[in-house]
Structure 1
Amino acid sequence: MALPSGLLGALDPTSDRAVFRQIADHLRESIDKGRFREGDKLPSETELVEHYGVSRMTVRNALSILQGEGLAVSEHGRGVFVRPRPPVRRLASDRFARRHRDEGKSAFTVEAEAAGVHSEVDSLEVKEEKPSQDVAARLGSPRKVLARRRRYLIDGRPVEFGTSYLPLDIARGTQIAEPNPGPGGIYARLEEQGHRLDHFDEEIRARMPSPHEVRTLHLASGVPVIHLIRTAYDTEGRAVEVCDTIMAADAFVLAYQLPAT
Structure 2
Amino acid sequence: MVKTSGYRKIANDIMNKIQRGTFRPGEKLPKQTELADFYETSRVTVQKALNVLTLEGYIASKKGVGTFVKNQADENSLYESDATEPIGLSQKANGRQAVTSKVVSFHVRTPEDEECEKLAIRPVDNVYDIIRVRYLDNQPFRIEYTVIPVGALPELNTAVLENSLYQYVEKATGQAVGSAIRKIKADMSDRYDQKYLDCQLFDPVLEIEQVVTFADGRPFELSEIRYRYDKGCFIAIHSV
The two structures have a TM-score, normalised by structure 2, of 0.56
Q: Tell whether the 8 Å contact from 1:126 to 1:179 is kept in structure 2 after alignment.
A: no
**Please, which of 93, 97, 108 is the counterpart of residue 112 of structure 1?**
93
> Once the 2 structures are TM-superposed, how far is the Cα of residue 150 of structure 1 from its aligned partner?
0.9
Amino acid of the structure 1 residue aligned with 2:129: A
Which amino acid in the other structure matches residue 91 of structure 1? E
Asked if 2 retains the 8 angstrom alpha-carbon contact of 1:126 and 1:147, the reply is yes
Residue segments in structure 2 that go unaligned for 5+ positions in a row: 1-74
Deviates most, 236-245 or 190-199: 190-199
The letter of the residue matching 2:93 is: A
Is it true that 1:162 corresponds to 2:152 in the alignment? no
Conserved? CA contact 2:181–2:211, under 8 Å: yes
8 Å CA contact 1:232–1:242 kept in 2: the answer is yes
- Given candidates 174, 183, 199, the residue that maps to 1:219 is 199
Q: Distance in 1 between matches of 2:220 and 2:143?
A: 20
Matched position secondary structure for 2:152: helix
Are 2:178 and 1:198 aligned?
A: yes
After superposition, the Cα gap between the structure-2 partners of 1:189 and 1:135, relative to the gap in structure 1 and judged at 3 Å, is same
In structure 1, what is the Cα distance between the partners aligned to 2:129 and 2:143? 13
Give yes or no for contact 1:119–1:153 (8 Å, CA) kept in 2.
Answer: yes
CA contact 2:160–2:168 (8 Å) conserved in 1: no
Distance 1:246 1:183, change over 3 A: closer
Report the Cα distance in structure 1 between the residues aligned to 2:91 and 2:176, rounded to whole angstroms.
20
After TM superposition, give the deviation of residue 240 of structure 1 in Å.
1.3
Alignment-derived partner of residue 122 in structure 1: 102
Residue by residue over 1:79-119, the C-alpha shift from the partner in whole angstroms, topping out at 9 and shown as x without a partner, is xxxxxxxx85323217635xxxxxxxxx21233358x5433
Equivalent-residue separation in structure 1 for 2:215 and 2:92 (angstroms): 26
Cα deviation for residue 146 of structure 1 reads: 1.6
The TM-score, its normalising length taken from structure 1, stands at: 0.52
Shift of 1:193: 1.9
Residue by residue, what CA displacement relative to the aligned partner does 1:166-205 show, whole Å, maximum 9, x if unpaired? Answer: 1122222x2x335226975345424642444332111111
Aligned residue pairs: how many?
A: 162
Q: Distance in 2 between matches of 1:237 and 1:250?
A: 33
Q: Give the aligned CA root-mean-square deviation in angstroms.
A: 2.9
Aligned to 1:37: none
Residue 108 of structure 1 aligns with an amino acid whose one-letter code is L
Identical amino acids, percent of aligned pairs: 12
Structure 1: 5+ residue stretches without partners: 1-86, 98-106
